[in-house]
């Protein structure tokens, strides 16, 4: 699946962006050296990144591990019920502290020299410390925390200095994200689907979330139509989307149309998406609540952990409905989204060619980044590309 860019990025000469705002140079999708720059400027830069939801670690001692770029993280709920995000590295010699994907611990012990950390990160024990360096103080060697903020349980981290989280998401995006998180963030984890796509993270991101329904034959077969809605973008690359979904009966195509019934959600707000820069897609589609925690593994591999949730107040019947709808609708094998997954990989292969990815639908100006787009326009991606271009420091053709 690997391919070579015809214009290898050297890390020295910045890429030049075309003057036309609806063109994206395809060389940004296949470049290993560029990926290293993106790690520094975006993934370790002044941007918040979603790494989990508090509902994934509901009990004291629950933890999950995750990666931000190549940086291993350990997310744990302490005895004080606080969820903290640590670097998953012993503060002694740097050994990876926790190897499991998830679990429950009373404390975290590094097997190398038996340093023992409490759930709140405090270094509780370190055998033989009498012989440690003269300036050693046990209280200085608690687990290092990465800067963290939460919004309704959504755990965001950064290694840089972005604005406070709510400001960074933007006032205009908060009501949609709130609705998506069940109104109050009191979610209950149903489980995961985890997959690696042979796709650059930007290609994944450009085609996940909302895109033209033309791809989905199923929508037509099921007579499954969207209604009115809106798409809103922010200057720093987020996309907020809401649309009505007309309840579908399956048009006789399905033997079991109960799968696509609305049981807990208002169809008027049937499809709700928050896509945060650089690569977090979250959606509530019908009765599916799905947060996609993504990891940019390399310039050609993107890993996505689809986490699905119910709401704590759901009836048992609704939980059961969410389980079967979530399992079958939106993941890497989902009735709707298997096709998306196919596109992530096909577009990555197609992008290893010279020239530009061209955006068309909804483009009204070749020089202005569109900020006012219609629900079905593909131009919703352009402000994010503009933000990417600026963060990466790429100049536009003709720009000084």
Partner 1 sequence: MSQAITAAHTSAIDALHTAYVAALDQGDMAAWAATFAVADETSYFCISAENDRRGLPLALMYDDCRGRIDDRVSFVTKVWVGTYQPYRTRHFIQRLSCESAGNNQYRVTSGFMIMMTPEGGATTILTSGEYRDLIEIQGEGDNARAVFRERRTVYDADVLPRYIVFPF
Q: Are 106 and 126 in contact (CB under 8 A)?
A: no
* Closer to partner 1 by Cβ: residue 115 or 344: 344
CA distance 290 to 56: 12
Minimum separation from the CB atom of position 192 to partner 1 (A): 6
Structure tokens at 169: 């998401």
Give first-to-last CA distance, the chain, whole Å: 37
Minimum separation from the CB atom of position 224 to partner 1 (A): 12
45 binds partner 1 (CB under 8 A): no
Give the DSSP H or E segment for 86. Answer: strand 83-87
* Closer to partner 1 by Cβ: residue 15 or 194: 194
Q: Report the residue from 80, 131, 256, 316 that binds partner 1 according to the rule CB under 8 A.
A: 256
CA distance 230 to 243: 6
Site size with partner 1, rule: CB under 8 A: 41
10 Å CB burial of residue 28 (0-12, 13-18, 19+) is buried
Q: Report the residue from 142, 226, 267, 332 that binds partner 1 according to the rule CB under 8 A.
A: 332
254 binds partner 1 (CB under 8 A): yes
Structure tokens at 156: 């965001």
Minimum separation from the CB atom of position 386 to partner 1 (A): 30
Nearest-5° Cα angle at 80, 74 to 82 = 45
318 binds partner 1 (CB under 8 A): no
263 binds partner 1 (CB under 8 A): no
Minimum separation from the CB atom of position 194 to partner 1 (A): 4
Q: What is the DSSP letter of 249?
A: -
Helix (H, G, I), strand (E, B) or coil at 394: coil
Q: What is the DSSP letter of 36?
A: H
Tell me the window of 34-42, 154-162, 165-173, 320-328 that interacts with partner 1 (CB under 8 A): 320-328
Which residues 79-108 are close enough to bind partner 1 by CB under 8 A? 101-102
* Closer to partner 1 by Cβ: residue 104 or 365: 104
221 binds partner 1 (CB under 8 A): yes
Q: Are 196 and 312 in contact (CB under 8 A)?
A: no
335 binds partner 1 (CB under 8 A): yes
Which residues 286-315 are close enough to bind partner 1 by CB under 8 A? 303, 308
198 binds partner 1 (CB under 8 A): yes
The most distant pair of C-alpha atoms in the chain lies apart, rounded to whole Å, by 77
70 binds partner 1 (CB under 8 A): no
Q: Report the residue from 196, 246, 361, 395 that binds partner 1 according to the rule CB under 8 A.
A: 196
217 binds partner 1 (CB under 8 A): yes
Tell me the window of 72-80, 154-162, 167-175, 333-341 that interacts with partner 1 (CB under 8 A): 333-341
Give the alpha-carbon dihedral of 9, 209, 240, 221, to 10 degrees.
Answer: 150
Q: How far is CA 305 from the centre of its chain?
A: 9
Half-sphere CA count of 162, side-chain side, radius 13 A: 26
Tell me the window of 139-147, 189-197, 232-240, 375-383 that interacts with partner 1 (CB under 8 A): 189-197
* Helices and strands (DSSP H and E) totals, the chain: 8, 21
CA distance 25 to 6: 12
327 binds partner 1 (CB under 8 A): yes
Interface with partner 1 by CB under 8 A: which residues? 1, 101-102, 189-198, 215, 217-218, 221, 253-256, 259, 303, 308, 323-324, 326-328, 331-333, 335, 338-339, 341-346
């Amino acid at each position: 699946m690997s391919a070579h860019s015809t214009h290898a990025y050297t890390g020295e000469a910045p890429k030049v962006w075309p003057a036309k705002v609806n063109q994206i140079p395809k060389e940004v999708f296949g470049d290993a050296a560029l990926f290293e720059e993106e790690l520094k400027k975006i993934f370790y830069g002044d941007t918040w990144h979603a790494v989990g939801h508090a509902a994934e670690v509901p009990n004291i001692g629950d933890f999950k591990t995750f990666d931000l770029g190549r940086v291993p993280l350990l997310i744990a709920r302490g005895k004080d019920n606080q969820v903290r995000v640590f670097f998953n590295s012993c503060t002694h010699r740097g050994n990876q502290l926790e190897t499991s994907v998830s679990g429950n611990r009373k404390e975290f012990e590094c097997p190398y020299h038996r340093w023992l950390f409490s759930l709140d990160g405090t270094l509780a024990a370190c055998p033989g410390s009498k012989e440690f360096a003269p300036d050693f103080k046990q209280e200085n060697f608690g687990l290092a925390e990465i800067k963290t903020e939460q919004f309704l349980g959504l755990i965001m981290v950064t290694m840089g200095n972005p604005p406070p989280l709510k400001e960074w998401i933007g006032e205009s995006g908060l009501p949609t994200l709130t609705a998506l998180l069940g109104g109050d963030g009191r979610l209950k984890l149903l489980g995961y689907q985890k997959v690696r796509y042979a796709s650059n993270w930007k290609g994944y991101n450009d085609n996940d979330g909302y895109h033209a329904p033309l791809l989905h034959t199923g929508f037509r077969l099921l007579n499954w139509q969207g209604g009115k809605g809106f798409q809103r973008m922010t200057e720093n690359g987020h996309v907020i989307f809401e649309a009505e979904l007309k309840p579908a009966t399956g048009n006789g195509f399905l033997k079991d149309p109960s799968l696509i019934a609305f049981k807990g959600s208002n169809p008027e707000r049937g499809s709700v998406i928050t896509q945060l820069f650089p690569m977090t897609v979250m959606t509530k589609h019908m009765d599916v609540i799905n947060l996609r925690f993504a990891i940019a593994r390399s310039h050609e591999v993107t890993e996505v952990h689809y986490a699905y949730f119910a709401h704590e107040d759901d009836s048992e019947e609704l939980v059961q409905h969410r389980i079967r709808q979530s399992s079958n609708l939106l993941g890497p094998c989902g009735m709707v989204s298997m096709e998306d997954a196919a596109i992530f990989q096909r577009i990555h292969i197609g992008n290893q060619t010279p020239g530009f990815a061209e955006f068309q639908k909804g483009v009204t100006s070749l020089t202005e980044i569109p900020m006012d787009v219609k629900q079905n326009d593909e131009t919703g991606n352009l402000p994010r590309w503009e933000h990417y271009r600026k963060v990466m420091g790429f100049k536009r053709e003709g720009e000084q």
